[in-house]
Amino acid sequence: MKVFEYINKLALFHTLVMQERTGTPHEFAERLGVDRATVYNICNELRSHDIEIEYSRLRQTFYYKHPDLVEIRLIIRQHSDYSNDKT
């Protein structure tokens, strides 16, 4: 998977979990365009960073136990003081 493709999938993953609209693990994987194992791998990676993510069978969604403590973002930009001049 290419870097920006992965970033976009992670952003969608995070958005759907925050909104508690993931659906079942199978549905979530389909929405992300990955297999179920990848969904669980992402969950495990987040857990390795102390982010508590759970799945509710009753509500059929993944959710963050403490959503107010979760922020995932990536900013890619060129600083305005960057110069292409290599003199």
| pLDDT tens string 36-83 | 999 999 999 999 999 999 999 999 999 999 988 888 887 888 877 766
pLDDT of residue 18: 96
pLDDT of residue 75: 81
Contacts of 66 by beta carbon, 8 Å cutoff, 6+ apart: 52
Q: What is the domain class of 3-69 according to CATH? A: mainly alpha
pLDDT of residue 32: 97
**Residue bearing the bigger pLDDT, 35 or 4:** 35
Residue 5 reports pLDDT greater than 70: yes
pTM over 0.95: no
Distance CA 6, CA 13 (A): 10
